[in-house]
Structure 1
Amino acid sequence: MKVNVYSMEGEVKEEIELPAIFNEEYRPDLIKRAVISSQTARVQPWGNDPMAGKRTSAKGWGSGRGTARVPRIKNGSRAAFVPMAIGGRQAHPTRAEKNHHEKINIKERRFAIRSAVAATTNKELVEKRGHVTGDIEQLPIIVDDEISSVKTAKQTREIFQNLGVYDDIERAKASKKIRAGRGKTRGRKYKKGKGPLLVVDEDNGISLGARNHAGVDVVCVENLNAELLAPGTHPGRLTIFTKSAVEKLGGLFQ
């Protein structure tokens, strides 16, 4: 499949052939597995002190006293150690040794990335994720390599407007809202939508220019993963590739 390469002014510069990775089979089940594996790999183990509530010399009084046979502190009748006692142990404490990581085979993970890359060409999937694609003529969007050296938010804003993706950035900005529940008191107060993903061959400053735009992520093509291409396990993210990134992508994730 041949696609246009756009300049930073939004004009057609040339035409290139997409590598075979963009024609990969669509496998949402594998994409979901790869994303969950990536997310669970970051889970930090935590648990309770194994001796919590057990540091006591309490002993049971035995039977025949008309009281429950629970351990009681030495100089009193207050129960200790047992789960229902004040200051006692937990019945089923969280254990730090529990493994939360959902593993995935290497070949499956690579297949999932290839499938997620191919999903970026499907306009129906991209719109289903909620992206705004009104002024966009083709997917994926291929842009000249000069964008990798842009370092200011003003320049990137103009480029995104020329490419027709700035409406999607505005949508991502407007989607910011306060999280429901206790999470807003635990360092994750806001929920924000995902905007365009920019895949480059080399980052010569574009991450500085794009970081102030809502929902925009920048990644080098070697570091591409399923979670960036399918946030929340939903494939079809609006993606912008540089010409060199597309050429290099053909030999990756095989």
Structure 2
Amino acid sequence: MFFQLVEKKAQVIDLSGNKVKEISLPKFFSFPVRKDLIRRAFHSSFTKGLQPKGRDPAAGKRTTAKSFGINLGLARVPRIRGAGEGALAPNTVGGRLAFPPSTRERIVEEINEKEKRLAILSGLASTTIPRFVISRGHKVKLDLPLIVTDDLGNISKSSDLEDVLTKIGLSEELKRAKNKRVRAGKGKMRGRRYKRTRGPLLVVHDSKLPVVKAASNLPGVDVISAKELSIIHLAPGGHPGRLVIYTESSIKELENRFGGMSPK
């Protein structure tokens, strides 16, 4: 598929929300948004973090239950003598599973390295398109992408970072990111009762900057360096269009990392 790249420009703002200058974005920010690639790359990265799960070979079989045989007017399921309760068989309460999980099951979705890189670039391109960002539920009324001066990386207090994000027009987004809801399913019993909303992502050029620690106390706000940026951060759940705030140096770092990629 042929796609013509166009050069996009974006405004750089300071910590007060004032426009400082205009810069040209790398060409991969105009790549086509491939939802299929993004979803596949997300599942590949997500499944690589899963631990293989199996069952005890004796699970559901620790019983003395035996079938009483035929001609008794009873179903021939294994029963416990004296109690008459069914056990052991898969169709009985407390019986074994017919097809239990196995550690030999292939749970990792494989993906080619080039496809994974194209998915990341497609995820980066989606951060510049308002309809993708709004469709994820983000509350933003600013021009995209959001690029802030490198002073953002030197913020060391959570309160200062919250003030800066409010000044640049993300007060509603921060309020939205504080929402949490009760998880559906058995995860409620396993130490992960609540699910929290994904808020803005800060992309910086270095993972050792003070802002990384400052953002840890803001619910829903994540920080990642341009070198470690992956589809897990850009498209949580496999859905493109996360609200991303770039620093000026992180744009240069991304260009060094992905500058030679082609959309074909």
Question: TM above 0.5, one fold?
Answer: yes
Count of residues paired in the alignment? 251
| In structure 2, distance between residues paired with 1:177 and 1:78 | 41
Secondary structure class of the residue paired with 1:180: coil
Structure 1: which 5+ residue stretches go unaligned? none
What is the Cα-based RMSD across aligned positions, in Å?
Answer: 2.8
Q: CA deviation at 1:60?
A: 8.6
Paired residue for 1:183?
Answer: 187
Q: Are 1:171 and 2:176 matched, yes or no?
A: yes
Paired residue for 2:214?
Answer: 209
| In structure 2, distance between residues paired with 1:64 and 1:161 | 79
Paired residue for 1:238?
Answer: 243
Q: CA deviation at 1:248?
A: 1.3
| In structure 2, distance between residues paired with 1:191 and 1:30 | 26
Q: Equivalent of 2:203, from 199, 202, 212? A: 199
Mapping of residues 116-195 of structure 1, within 5 Å: 116-134=123-141, 136=142, 138-173=143-178, 175-195=179-199
TM-score by length of 2: 0.82
Mapping of residues 211-230 of structure 1, within 5 Å: 211-230=216-235
Q: CA deviation at 1:181?
A: 3.3
Q: Equivalent of 2:46, from 34, 39, 47? A: 39
Paired letter, 1:38: S
| In structure 2, distance between residues paired with 1:69 and 1:5 | 76
| In structure 1, distance between residues paired with 2:74 and 2:17 | 84
| In structure 2, distance between residues paired with 1:3 and 1:140 | 7
List per-residue Cα deviations over 1:31-52 (Å, max 9, x = no partner).
1111111111111111112244
Secondary structure class of the residue paired with 1:191: strand
Runs of 4 or more, structure 1, over 4 Å off, are: 53-73, 77-89
Structure 2: which 5+ residue stretches go unaligned? 1-7
Q: CA deviation at 1:119?
A: 0.6
Q: CA deviation at 1:56?
A: 8.3
Q: Equivalent of 1:49, from 46, 53, 56? A: 56
Q: CA deviation at 1:180?
A: 3.0
Paired letter, 1:24: F
Taking a change above 3 Å as real, the CA distance of residues 214 and 79 of structure 1, as seen in their structure-2 partners, is closer
Mean CA deviation greater in 53-62 or 41-50: 53-62
Q: CA deviation at 1:91?
A: 2.4
Taking a change above 3 Å as real, the CA distance of residues 103 and 157 of structure 1, as seen in their structure-2 partners, is same
TM-score by length of 1: 0.85
Q: CA deviation at 1:197?
A: 0.6
Q: Equivalent of 2:14, from 7, 30, 40? A: 7
Taking a change above 3 Å as real, the CA distance of residues 49 and 246 of structure 1, as seen in their structure-2 partners, is same
Seq. identity, %: 43
Conserved 8 A contact 1:120-1:238: yes
